[in-house]
Homo-oligomer: A and B are copies of this chain.
Amino acid sequence: PLQDFCVADNSSHVFVNGFVCKDPKEVTAEDFFLAAKLDMPRDTKMSKVGSIVTLLNVMRIPGLNTLGISLARIDYAPLGENPPHTHPRASEILTVLEGTLYVGFVTSNPDNKLFWKVLNKGDVFVFPQGLIHFQFNPNPYKPAVAIAGLSSQNPGAITIANAVFGSKPPISDDVLAKAFQVEKKTVDWLQAQFWAR
């Protein structure tokens, strides 16, 4: 930040790294506020992977612009998961509000070491910036809930399966077949799954 605040002006037609700001004279407390209902469970039924991420980033709360922080609530169905993904612009610290989570992250080449843990209510875990990580609710009967802080107002998220097999247009199946050491028809089948999403 180069001033007290720079509230994002989502109506502007000028695009910059981050967002241009509203005229500071027109900024109000509402710009730093959201009635986000973060206390309310969200319905995970529509999710193929059994989870819903409610991310409060600068697109949701314009006052976050330039401040380097965002907050998320994640609801997990029984056996639901937040599948392997990366945040290209943020580290994450997560605490479990309800239920149990099997969580982990994988380091970069060449080790690709998995650091994992089973978290219970009240436990906390950290996911370093840019590394592939996931959370999975191993309980077949009970949902789980977590709250996470992220070190960017716009962390971004790249869900690995969707980005690799569901990109628009699709990545050539020659590339993916060789990358995953599978046949092209397997790739084509996977792409069909994720393209539908």
Chain A residues in the interface with B (C-beta under 8 A) = 1-6, 9, 12-18, 20-24, 27-30, 32-40, 48-50, 56, 61, 63-71, 79, 81, 83-86, 88-93, 95-97, 102, 104-109, 111-117, 119-132, 134, 136, 138, 147-154, 156-172, 174-176, 178-182, 190, 193-194
Contacts and interface: CB of A to CB of B under 8 A. Distances in A.
B124 A34 contact: yes
A193 B29 CA distance: 26
B163 A132 contact: yes
The 3 closest A-B pairs by CB, nearest first: A149-B149, A88-B130, A83-B179
Contacts of A16: 6, 16, 20-21
A106 B164 contact: yes
A124 B61 contact: yes
Contacts of A168: 111-114
Contacts of A117: 29-30, 32-33
Contact of A158 (B79, B89, B108): B108
B179 A190 contact: no
A181 to B, nearest CB: 5
Given A21-B15, A34-B124, A179-B160, A91 B115 contact: no
